[in-house]
């Protein structure tokens, strides 16, 4: 079995002090875990410099967003050059909350993806269909449009440093509906075929993570999908007493597969 990527976006949760308490504990868990599990955390910007000292190869560190320009008149925005200066490993782009509340669109995300590559930051591109698109039976089309637009102009070489998170909008957060594992497999297979169409053989190696109400009860079910390469977890990872059992389950799963 290949590497399994498991990480968490903290969204607007945790103070810096809480992050400083959480990170060394997770780092310690990470160091003892099966090496095939690659962990990552994505805290708010304000925490990153401090938490860089508490993270490393076994526990990668990312930002939740960034601008596409290196500098300019963009009050309140964060430059990719600065994220690089902090020494981040990755940057999350296009989470559905950013699309929903801050009007992020696929064309802007395409500029951000290219900015990430320019600075050697690994983009973790989030895509997902809305409930309306699912009900209309156009989930796969919607995912394909998001991939083709956000990844326009990306070369197969660059694609080797790209991760995708598939998160159905309707499955995310409190009030989200847990997706059926079979549905998740189908969407991941469809995403894989778009990636192969876009990048040829390199498309087979792009990690595609699943996110949206992942918890201890459903995590392994999702991971059984042949094109599910990891999990992107919100609420169930913010408390280590919930997260550690999930990681242990994944470790057992890897031993037996």
Tokens of 83: 């994220």
Complex with ligand PGA: residue 89 or 202, whichever CB lies closer? 89
Which of positions 92-151 make contact with ligand PGA (CB under 6 A)?
none
Please say if 57 is a catalytic residue: no
Looking at 40, 167, 187, 230, which residue binds ligand PGA (CB under 6 A)?
167
Q: Helical H runs in the chain? A: 16-32, 48-52, 80-86, 96-102, 106-118, 131-136, 139-150, 181-199, 219-223, 240-255
The C-alpha atoms of residue 8 and residue 239 are separated, in whole angstroms, by 11
Q: Which two tokens stand for residue 8?
A: 């968490």
Residue bearing tokens 């997902």: 128
Catalytic residue check, 167: yes
Q: Residue 212 CB, nearest distance to ligand PGA (Å)? A: 5
What are 7's two structure tokens?
């990480």
Q: Which of 92, 97, 129, 167 is catalytic?
A: 167
Site string for ligand PGA, 182-221 (x = CB under 6 A): -----------------------------xxxx-------
The two tokens of residue 146 are 């998001």
Tokens 């799963």 map to which residue?
253
Binding test (CB under 6 A) with ligand PGA, winner from 193, 235, 240, 248: 235
Q: Which residues contact 79 (CB under 8 A, 6 or more apart)?
A: 66, 67, 69, 70, 71
Among 232, 246, 247, 250, binds ligand PGA (CB under 6 A): 232
Q: Taking the alpha carbons of 149, 129, 197, 37 in that order, is the dihedral positive or negative?
A: positive
Q: Rounded to the nearest whole angstrom, what is the least distance from the CB of residue 173 to ligand PGA in the complex?
A: 5
Residue 30 burial (CB < 10 Å; 0-12/13-18/19+)? buried
When the beta carbons of 116 and 233 are compared against ligand PGA, the nearer one is: 233
Catalytic residue among 95, 114, 119, 188: 95
Least Cβ distance, residue 211 to ligand PGA (angstroms):
4
The least distance separating ligand PGA from the CB of residue 1, rounded to whole angstroms, comes to 23
Nearer to ligand PGA, 8 or 227 (CB): 8
Given 98, 145, 173, 244, the residue binding ligand PGA (CB under 6 A): 173
Please choose, out of 18-26, 184-192, 196-204, 231-239, the segment that lies near ligand PGA by the rule CB under 6 A: 231-239
In degrees and rounded to multiples of 5, residue 55 shows phi and psi of: -125, 175
Active site residues: 95, 167
Q: Can you give the binding site for ligand PGA, defined by CB under 6 A?
A: 9, 167, 172-173, 176, 211-214, 232-236
């Amino acid at each position: 079995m290949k590497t399994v990527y498991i990480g968490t976006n903290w969204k607007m949760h945790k103070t810096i002090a809480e992050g400083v308490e959480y990170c060394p504990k997770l780092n310690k868990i990470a160091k003892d875990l099966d090496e095939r599990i690659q962990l990552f955390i994505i805290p708010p910007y304000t925490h990153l410099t401090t938490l860089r000292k508490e993270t490393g190869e076994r526990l990668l560190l990312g930002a939740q967003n960034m601008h596409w320009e290196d500098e300019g008149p963009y009050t309140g925005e964060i430059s990719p050059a600065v994220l690089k200066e902090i020494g981040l490993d990755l940057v999350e782009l296009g989470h559905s909350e950013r699309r929903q509340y801050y009007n992020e669109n696929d064309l802007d995300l395409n500029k951000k993806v290219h900015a990430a590559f320019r600075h050697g930051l690994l983009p973790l591109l989030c895509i997902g269909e809305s409930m309306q698109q699912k009900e209309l039976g156009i989930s796969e089309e919607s995912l394909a449009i998001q991939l083709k637009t956000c990844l326009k102009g990306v070369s197969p070489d660059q694609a080797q440093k790209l991760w995708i998170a598939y998160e159905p909008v309707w499955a995310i957060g409190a009030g989200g509906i847990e997706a059926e594992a079979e549905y998740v497999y189908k969407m991941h297979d469809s995403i894989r075929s778009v990636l192969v169409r876009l990048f040829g053989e390199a498309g087979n190696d792009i990690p595609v993570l699943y996110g949206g109400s992942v918890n201890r009860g459903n995590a392994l079910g999702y991971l059984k999908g042949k094109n599910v390469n990891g999990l992107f977890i919100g609420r169930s990872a913010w408390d280590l007493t919930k997260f550690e059992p999930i990681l242990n389950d994944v470790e057992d799963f890897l031993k037996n597969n």
